[in-house]
Amino acid sequence: MDTDWDDAHTDYTSPSTRPVPAGLAESEADWRRRLRQETPRGWLLTGNAMIQNLTSGRPIQLMHTTSALDAIRASGHLYASSGCLVAALYCAPLTAESAGLRPHNLGAYLMETKPHTRTLVFEITPSAPVPAKGVDYLRLGGIHLRTYLRHRSFLTGHEDSRLRQASLGRIRTAAPFMDVLLANATGKRTPCAGFTDQLSVTIRDFPFLGYLYFEVLSEYLMLHSATAETETYAQAGELNNRLYKRLAHIAVKGMNQLFDLSRFRPGYDHLVELITRIEPGLASGAAEYTRDRLSHLFAAVSLDPSQDAEAFTFRGTDFDTLAVAAPSLLGQAVFREMRILDRYPQLYLAFEQAKALEAWDYWNSEGIPTPFNGFLPKGEIGVNPAYPESRCRVWVAEACERGLLHPVEELDITPVPRLAELNMTAMRRDTTGRAAGHIRSARADSPSP
């Protein structure tokens, strides 16, 4: 079990090279060197303020926005939520200054765009320096699959059959483009424009690719940006989160109401237009970067290391074959199909709490009271509600005219190792009943024989 969780975490101070399928043109070490040494902001991957604070052993100050302050006061409890942090209470870093607590640019963005919320300040005092290990939700597919296989008994026979058929159907529908991804990952490059347009179309059938696409472009923007705004944040030791926020909200109407990356699918012309609007100097290289980086990541996170990316094909595969050859990809498909089952609101805790218990066990064993989003250390950090070796204090805070936070009332509340209800999380269903992160597709529901 720990092998799965180790694989899903990236250590930014003591990097290890994960095993990958044979045949890839570039290794994880090759990409790590490229990102750190050949991009203007690559130094922030290890030299950012959040990582330095975690590894210092000093108290860690975080902010959390909430619209449920009265309920929190009444219960005396804080619950974690699922999502990119798996099972942590979503926060952003704070930096203590003489005039108050300065929010990380991610936190400042949240305060600006969520005026209806209140802000809580956490002070976590760890018992030792915290490892710089962040969880990468793109690598959780194997854990999603294992959780499903262990808890299938919660499903009716019809639900289980529909889940397996729909998951397999999506992979079979997307198989031609997935094979293109593998070809690119092994060095057989295809034209950027055609690749991007194919990617856009395939996301409709296989939504996980939308998450890969968005994270790759976010990485591209944050590590390559040369604007004055980005430089200001870099001098504070922060990656510029506003870049990918703009990307998401310009690309997808209504993303501010339901942040659903299955809807993120710009084709080539739209991609160039988007990047031009955000930072014109980066537009010309966006499609090539997407093709190369996304293809490598897809192969690395989808296929089992025992496989040969040059020889493998997704065409004609069955469920059991994929469970061995591409367990992470299959797990991502199953995870998203699970979320549109009619009974998912009732099943949510049965499946997600099981993952949460494993995550908390791993973080506790590794000495991690504050897990962060490890695809990039961009400031998405959380509170591990099950960690026994640290002290946690919580205040209600107010912001001054300079945007600094000032604690005004200490709360008598305790983080609790239990997930919040689905309707209180970012994975809630929208007004049509659809779960965030999934698009229904009639073509994918019935696999060919």
Pure H helices in 114-267: 141-150, 157-185, 192-203, 208-224, 228-235, 242-251
Q: Coil, helix or strand for 95?
A: strand
263-311: per-residue pLDDT in tens?
Answer: 999 999 999 999 999 999 999 999 999 999 999 999 999 999 999 999 9
CA distances from 27 to 31, 34, 186 (A): 7, 11, 10
Length of the chain as a residue count: 449
Token look-up 């999603």 returns: 144
* pLDDT at 440 > cutoff 70: no
Question: pTM of the entire structure?
Answer: 0.93
The pLDDT of 189-212, averaged and rounded, is: 98
Left (φ > 0), alpha (ψ -120 to 50) or beta: where does 157 sit? alpha
Q: How far apart are CA 253 and CA 221, in angstroms?
A: 20
442 pLDDT tier (thresholds 50, 70, 90) = very low
Here the tokens at position 1 are 């079990």
64-100: per-residue pLDDT in tens?
Answer: 999 999 999 999 999 998 889 999 999 999 999 999 9
* pLDDT at 101 > cutoff 50: yes
Nearest to 91 by CA among 370, 357, 369, 352: 370
423 class by beta-carbon count within 10 Å (0-12 exposed, 13-18 middle, 19+ buried): exposed
Query: What was the pLDDT predicted at 261?
Result: 93
- The helices-and-strands tally (H runs, E runs) of the chain is 18, 11
3 pLDDT tier (thresholds 50, 70, 90) = confident
The pLDDT of 96-124, averaged and rounded, is: 96
Looking at every residue in the chain, the average pLDDT score rounds to 93
Query: What was the pLDDT predicted at 70?
Result: 95
Query: What was the pLDDT predicted at 434?
Result: 46
List, in order, residues 6 or more apart from 144 with CB less than 8 Å away: 331, 332, 334, 335, 355
425 pLDDT tier (thresholds 50, 70, 90) = low
CA distances from 30 to 164, 191, 200 (A): 36, 22, 27
The pLDDT of 217-223, averaged and rounded, is: 98
Paired sense of beta strands 100-103 and 77-80, if any: unpaired
245-269: per-residue pLDDT in tens?
Answer: 999 999 999 898 888 999 999 999 9
Left (φ > 0), alpha (ψ -120 to 50) or beta: where does 173 sit? alpha
The pLDDT of 216-226, averaged and rounded, is: 98
Q: Percent of the chain at pLDDT above 70? A: 94
16 pLDDT tier (thresholds 50, 70, 90) = confident
Q: Are 447 and 172 in contact (CB under 8 A)?
A: yes
Maximum CA extent, the chain? 67
366-399: per-residue pLDDT in tens?
Answer: 999 999 999 999 999 999 999 999 899 999 999 9
pLDDT: is 259 or 407 the higher one? 407
The pLDDT of 148-167, averaged and rounded, is: 97
424 pLDDT tier (thresholds 50, 70, 90) = low
Left (φ > 0), alpha (ψ -120 to 50) or beta: where does 136 sit? beta
2 pLDDT tier (thresholds 50, 70, 90) = confident
* pLDDT at 413 > cutoff 90: yes
Map 354-413 to HEC letters. Answer: HHHHHHHHHHHHHCCCCCEECCCCCCCEEECCCCCCEEEEEEEEEECCCCCEEEEEEECC
Handedness of CA 276, 279, 285, 287 (dihedral sign): negative
Q: Are 239 and 233 in contact (CB under 8 A)?
A: yes
Q: Percent of the chain at pLDDT above 90? A: 89
Q: Coil, helix or strand for 362?
A: helix
Query: What was the pLDDT predicted at 1?
Result: 54
* pLDDT at 163 > cutoff 80: yes
Q: How far apart are CA 366 and CA 133, in angstroms?
A: 9
The pLDDT of 424-443, averaged and rounded, is: 48
Q: How far apart are CA 293 and CA 184, in angstroms?
A: 10
Q: How far apart are CA 303 and CA 361, in angstroms?
A: 26
The pLDDT of 231-247, averaged and rounded, is: 98
Left (φ > 0), alpha (ψ -120 to 50) or beta: where does 76 sit? left
316 pLDDT tier (thresholds 50, 70, 90) = very high
Here the tokens at position 196 are 């991007």
Q: Are 111 and 398 in contact (CB under 8 A)?
A: no
